[in-house]
Amino acid sequence: MRVRITRRGGATQVSWLLSAVVTMGCLAAAMALSGGRSKAYTAYSLAVHKTASIPAFARKYGLRCSACHTVWPELNAFGQKFKDNGYQLGNDRDSPIWQNNAYWPIAMRTTPQVHLESTTNQVTDSSPGGKTLIQAGFDLSGIDFLLLGTLYKNITFGLVPTLDPDGTAGVEAAFVRFDNLGNSPWANLKVGKFELDNLLSEKRITWLSANGGFLYAYHYLPVGSTNNFGFGDNQIGAEFSGHSSNSYTRYTASLLSTDDGEPGLPGGKSVDAMFTLSQAWALGGGLGPQRVGVFGYLGHRPTTMETVGGGNPIPGTGSANKSFLRLGATAQLWLGNLELLPLFAHASDDAALGPGTDKPTWNSGLLEAHYVATPQLLFQARYELLRMSKQGDPAIPKTQGNADAFALGFRAYPFMFSRDGMAIHGEFAMTKTIGTVPLSGDGSGVDPVTPGTSVWSRSVMLGFDFAF
């Protein structure tokens, strides 16, 4: 076998595929030998709280997980329609009055796991010039308490308290939704904190590792940015949505607070706006219809705040709002049991939200592939890239912040019925970021010594993902 090695900027680069195979083997061996000597305390920071695979619905309606999920937690067309209908099947038995008194709409999910994180060029006290850090051991994800259901026919609620692995509590989602206004599926109103209507949902993502459990397209911000927005973060506001009777046509229009889902009005007095639109067609013989969609987000962030006590900002008094924009297109395509999920996105921030005088812009694209061998076995892969097209400060190298992310994994479900679910989850993911820390939070959390230095961060994970 020939190994292609090139030299660029002093760093050795191996082709992605070969690197993936070799690294997975080496890290698996390292994990076995390391015995969990250190803990990746920052890893998994973005990967916790994948909120939506809800056995409470399976118990309520007596349906297997596979009815609503291609493999859980990813929704299939039937599950999407069920969600769009306010978690109702529409059988005149959706109101809780028809449920046994003992039924309580709650489910929980967590993932005990063992994982290894390896990150290159990390600045530490003993190695100010940078070294490779390896962090490994047994670990836990956060715990999600999934309380979702109906308060009454066509009145839906969602409440998702969470516990981080260190015990910190949070509220991932809390909303009420009025469904089928005027007996029309085209009019639904949701108010509270909820996931944006992302066709490629990060909350139902089938990736869990520190480097694989999020999308750069949904979380990346340029070097020096003061913006805090993330598409993958649940937001607070109101969403008006609608769908056709089979949910093949869907739209949402939302007004959202300018604080990235943080309660307490810490942001400004403006509102963000988002829209999504998607259309599916029943083409081919795949597991689902072929869907394409577009999305856009116009947000604002304050650049000045009223202060008190010598400069402490007063929450909710932000002004001099400056805008940012996210636009994109995505699809869900089926070729038999093979699902392809491409996504392209363009992003820009106002110059005032960054370190320089220019408006930073960047683009990202990804292709995710799922092979659903059976409802109980999934093989998956993803490649994502992000490229800065313009930095806010001309002094920043154009490539700083660029990222490539690759992931490979499987999920095997030993059983599947309508009470609970468990997946044996294996995953290898790696990212290369230039001049910045990886978004996984792995490593020392300090930018590399030079802005042109590549940081490779790799995750190997074996977990037991269960919900009941």
Partner 1 sequence: MRPCTRWMAVASGWGVLLCATGATAARAQESHIGAVTGHAAAGKPLYTRYCAGCHGDDGDARGENAQWIDPKPRDFTLAVFKCRSTPTGSLPTDQDLFDAMTRGFVTTNMPPWLPLTDQTRADLVAYIKTFSPKWKTAKAGTPISIPAEPAPTIQSILHGRELFQKMECWKCHGPTGHGDGPSAATLTDNKDLPIHPYDFSSGSRFMCGVTNRDLYKIFMTGLDGTPMPSFADDIKPADGWDLVHFLRTLQPLSTPEAAIWRAWLASHANELKPIGPPGSGQ
Give contact residues for partner 1 (rule: CB under 8 A).
Answer: 61-64, 66-67, 77-78, 80-81, 89-93, 245-248, 282, 284-285, 287-289, 374-375, 417-418
CB of 245 or CB of 357, closer to partner 1 = 245
- Minimum distance of partner 1 from residue 262's CB (angstroms): 35
CB of 154 or CB of 440, closer to partner 1 = 154
DSSP string, 203-259: TT-S--STTTSS-HHHH---TT------TTS-EEEEEEEEE-TTSSEEEEEEEEETT
CB of 81 or CB of 301, closer to partner 1 = 81
Separation CA 326–CA 40 (nearest Å): 32
CA atoms within 13 A on the CB side of 286: 24
- Minimum distance of partner 1 from residue 417's CB (angstroms): 5
Separation CA 361–CA 268 (nearest Å): 23
Residue 90 region, left (φ>0) first, then alpha (ψ -120 to 50), else beta? left
Nearest to 317 by CA among 268, 373, 279, 258: 268
CB of 44 or CB of 87, closer to partner 1 = 87
Separation CA 262–CA 270 (nearest Å): 15
- Minimum distance of partner 1 from residue 285's CB (angstroms): 5
CB of 37 or CB of 419, closer to partner 1 = 419
Separation CA 418–CA 53 (nearest Å): 12
CB of 340 or CB of 352, closer to partner 1 = 340
- Minimum distance of partner 1 from residue 212's CB (angstroms): 26
- Minimum distance of partner 1 from residue 86's CB (angstroms): 14
CB of 63 or CB of 369, closer to partner 1 = 63
- Minimum distance of partner 1 from residue 309's CB (angstroms): 56
CB of 92 or CB of 125, closer to partner 1 = 92
Burial class (CB in 10 A: 0-12, 13-18, 19+), 132: middle
439 and 103 Cβ atoms separated by less than 8 Å: no
- Minimum distance of partner 1 from residue 59's CB (angstroms): 9
Q: What is the DSSP letter of 343?
A: E
The residues, ordered by sequence, that sit 6+ positions from 319 with a Cβ below 8 Å of its Cβ are 268, 269, 302, 303, 304, 305
Pseudo-torsion of CA 442, 446, 450, 451, nearest 10°? 70
Burial class (CB in 10 A: 0-12, 13-18, 19+), 93: middle
CB of 61 or CB of 383, closer to partner 1 = 61
Long-range pairs for 179-182 at CB < 8 Å and ≥24 separation? 179/85, 179/86, 179/88, 179/154, 179/155, 180/85, 180/86, 180/154
CB of 290 or CB of 440, closer to partner 1 = 290
CB of 82 or CB of 214, closer to partner 1 = 82
- Minimum distance of partner 1 from residue 16's CB (angstroms): 33
- Minimum distance of partner 1 from residue 276's CB (angstroms): 18
- Minimum distance of partner 1 from residue 239's CB (angstroms): 21
The residues, ordered by sequence, that sit 6+ positions from 334 with a Cβ below 8 Å of its Cβ are 284, 286, 287, 288, 289, 290, 340
Residue 200 region, left (φ>0) first, then alpha (ψ -120 to 50), else beta? beta
91 and 426 Cβ atoms separated by less than 8 Å: no
Nearest to 216 by CA among 370, 343, 396: 343
- Minimum distance of partner 1 from residue 418's CB (angstroms): 5
